[in-house]
Structure 1
Amino acid sequence: MTFKTPVTLCTLASSLLGFCSTGFAYQLESVATGLSVPWSIEFVNNHTALVSQRNGAIVELDVHSGKFTPLFKPTDVYAKGQGGLLDLAFHPQNKSRLFITYSQRSHLGATTTLAKATYTQGKISNFSPLFTSSSYSDTSRHFGSRIVFDDNNMLYFSIGDRGIRDNGQDLSTHAGSILRINIDGSTPTDNPFIKNNNALAEIWSYGHRNPQGLTFDHHSQQLWAIEHGPRGGDEINLIVKGHNYGWAETSHGKEYWGPIKVGDSEYKKGVTAPQLVYTPSIAPSSLILYRGNRYPALNGKLLAGALKLTHINVVGFNNGQLVEEQRLFEDLNERIRDIQISPDDYLYITTDSGKVMRLLP
């Protein structure tokens, strides 16, 4: 089955194919159905992927047949609200080393935890927490949490403010931050707050509300994040070592209960401004920077999944500034949870309704 996306300013012949952009048309092909909020898809090779389901289970998916096989389910996953089994990421040079973020339950409440595991021959073993954050809360909101690696194999992962606004400016908690650690769980000696006794050493940047998209561009050596604002004010941020991104002192959004802006202002001295703001919100869920040959019109662009407005958001660069260019598959009516690139350069998406789909050029 294929799904078409609406077009504007295209010829009739082009619009029959789907989305029209500089001569290219795209369709979505169904790969698998029946999953339970597939939060992350991570590829083993061209035909096999691992998928995390928010209910706490990891499955292995054959992307050619659509068959998925249950592999593993941790026993301490807090699968409530926005919590559950979250992101998956393989070590960049070793597909047997798997990293997993999830909301972990404990007597202190729930927190975002990074775990490690071994994946070999269709089995997951040696699962154990590698780093447990201090973002404990009795709320079921704003866990983050995406994983990326830079060229030095440093691991970054994001944590939301856990529904407590003051956490964004509090360096004594991991909540509301993007963390940077070594792959053995230790803290890099060049982290920005390593010598600050009033801050947690793992924090790389802070002042975040709920960054659910994170991508490292190996071409430009830049780290990008996309995060949920309140009512309006979703942000794409260029993440820089030690910078404060403002939440909740600055925001472009409004209170849920009325037409009153959140925070003191939209901009403030000492706060790094977002590169792009979405008002109204699109409810971003994931972020990648696509660099490949299969979709030439998307090469070098940021792609974000949208939950509330159910589309793929395409963002380009114009003289160093981010510009929203297109919204793909708005008629799909699916909350897009993750976007990932396979080893053979296909774009895949997952949806909250339990689907995995492949983008056809």
Structure 2
Amino acid sequence: MKTLKTIHAFILVFLVTSCSTKQKEFFTIESEGTKLKVETVTDSITIPFGMDFLPNGRLLVTDRAIGHMVVVNTATGEKELIQGVPPVVGQGDGGLLDILVHPDYKNNGWIYFSYSEGDTTSNTMVVERAKLDGLKLVQRERLFTALPYFKKPLHHGSRLVLKDGYLFIAMGEKTDLQDSAQTLGNHLGKVLRIFEDGRVPRDNPFVDTPDAKPEVWTYGHRNPNGLALNPATGDLWEHEHGPMGGDELNLIKPGLNYGWPVITYGLNYDSTKVGEGITEKEGMEQPVYYYKPSIAPSGMQFYSSDVIPMWKGNLFIGAMALKHLNRLVLENNKVIKEERLLTDKKWRVRSVKQGPDGFLYIGVDGGKILRIRPN
């Protein structure tokens, strides 16, 4: 009898394993003459805006518009909902935005996240941190609130980077307040720097400038949807949406003016000039690279693993309008090659993250999380 039960158990495990393997969707792509496998990790996450990995390999994902934070088992695809997430303004560009696991999470347990707060008549972007108690956020702390509040829930930007005890925050200019990006007295259209506990560093470039917001690190940005560190150099990079054309990739340096809306390579959506229609002006930075027509960039990741060796050091950006995964090869902080991957899938690639396994993970609007790995 025991032998029969053992055989039945073996058959059951075999069938379950076989079915799981068959259900795992995958296909292959080619880059630099090498075939890679793209496989589905999970689905049913509507707008996977932010992603980051816990030390145990589980993936935290924000579902932007509905304001859900989920943790994904990347081996099985199982998703679990995290409780204690604050209410969000899910209209327009708002909702639960970026998420970031502290590099020293094993010792301090902090998770950082941004979201839109308020209502459809007055809202803004805020940044908080919290800890996980099982599947519940606890010890929530407000670190930053972008000012001023504004009626339209648009252009929150909102990407987060931690570096050496500092938290960098990318904030959009709220679309109808374009000139705010050139004014130091607000947080709009800026990259901001605070300590990871919310305090303002005394060496920020405008901390002693009258009427300037002390958190400002750089200004003249439109709607940043990408912020990433190059692990090889420690440099901070940002990308932002242009209007009709003129998406920019920028190397971020303190105190600099990146030009919006005075200079741009894009046009207004009615095809008229933005301002004077100029692309250069003294005292304003040129982008390292720009896209025309727009790709609508979102998410950004430097790939640093040896698992896919021909990609090491490359920069990956999601593209939502031209629907692909954008790969850039950089040399001396200049783009020397661009490759567009997954163009046939017509996916709005929303987020990009390197996993602890060295694979590249992407989140696409409509629900899927996928990983790219050696074939």
Q: TM-score, normalised by structure 1?
A: 0.92
Q: What displacement does 1:198 show?
A: 2.2
Task: Give distance in 1, aligned partners of 2:68 and 2:305.
Answer: 31
Contact 1:253 1:262 (8 Å CA) reproduced: no
In structure 1, runs of 5+ residues without a counterpart are: 5-16
1:131 maps to 2:144:
yes
Asked if structure 2 preserves the Cα contact closer than 8 Å seen for 1:58 and 1:73, the reply is no
Q: Are residue 296 (structure 1) and residue 309 (structure 2) matched? A: yes
> How much does 1:184 deviate?
1.1
Letter of the 1:59 counterpart: V
In 2: Cα distance, 1:120 partner to 1:217 partner:
32
Deviation at 1:106, TM superposition (A): 5.5
Alignment pair present for 1:154 and 2:166: yes
What number of residue pairs does the alignment pair up?
347
Segment drifting more, 125-134 vs 26-35: 125-134
Indicate yes or no: 2:44 matched with 1:34.
yes
Task: Write out aligned runs for 1:62-73 (5 A).
Answer: 62-72=73-83
What percent of counterpart residues are identical? Answer: 35
- 2:227 pairs with 1:217: no
Match of 1:7 in 2: none
Contact 1:305 1:339 in 2 (8 A): yes
1:18 paired residue among 17, 26, 29? 29
Q: Deviations over 1:256-313 (max 9, x none)?
A: 0124355541011000110001000000011111111111111111110001111111
Q: Quick one: distance in 1 between partners of 2:293 and 2:102?
A: 36
Which protein has the larger Cα radius of gyration, Structure 1 or Structure 2?
2
Which aligned segments of 4 or more residues in structure 1 are displaced greater than 6 angstroms?
none
SS of the counterpart of 2:258? coil
Measure the CA separation in 2 of the matches of 1:276 and 1:126.
Answer: 41
**Deviations, residues 150-207 of structure 1 (Å, cap 9, x unaligned):** 2x22110100001121111011110100000001101011100011112100000000
CA distance in 1, matches of 2:358, 2:105: 19
- Where 1:297 maps in the other structure, the secondary structure is helix
Q: 1:58 and 2:73 equivalent?
A: no
User: SS in structure 1 opposite 2:110?
Assistant: strand
CA distance, structure 1, for counterparts of residue 85 and residue 331 of structure 2: 44
Q: How many angstroms apart in 2 are the aligned matches of 1:346 and 1:38? A: 18
Q: Does 2:293 match 1:280?
A: yes
Q: How far apart are the structure 1 equivalents of 2:52 and 2:350?
A: 13
Distance 1:263 1:302 in 2: 32
CA contact (8 A) 1:3 1:332 kept: no
With 297-306 and 125-134 compared, the bigger mean Cα shift is at: 125-134
| Alignment partner, residue 215 of structure 2 | 202
Q: Is the 8 A contact 2:125 2:146 kept in 1?
A: yes
**Is residue 92 of structure 1 aligned with residue 103 of structure 2?**
yes
Contact 2:120 2:152 in 1 (8 A): no
| Superposed CA offset, 1:310-346 (max 9, x none) | 1111111235421342001111111111001111211
Range with bigger deviation, 56-65 or 260-269: 260-269
Check 1:273–1:117 CA distance in 2 against 1; reply closer, same or farther (3 A cut): same
CA distance in 2, matches of 1:160, 1:217: 22
Alignment-derived partner of residue 14 in structure 1: none
The structure in which a higher percent of residues are helix is 2
Matches of 1:351 and 1:138 in 2, distance apart? Answer: 28
Residues 244-255 of structure 1: pairs in structure 2 closer than 5 A: 244-255=257-268
SS of residue paired to 1:80: coil
Distance, in Å, in 2 between the alignment partners of 1:220 and 1:137 is: 37
Name the CA shift for 1:108/1:185 in 2 (closer, same or farther; >3 Å).
Answer: farther
Matched with 1:231 is: 244
Cα RMSD of the aligned pairs, angstroms, is 1.7
Q: Distance in 1 between matches of 2:258 and 2:226?
A: 15
CA contact (8 A) 1:305 1:313 kept: yes
**What letter corresponds to residue 81 of structure 2 in structure 1?**
P
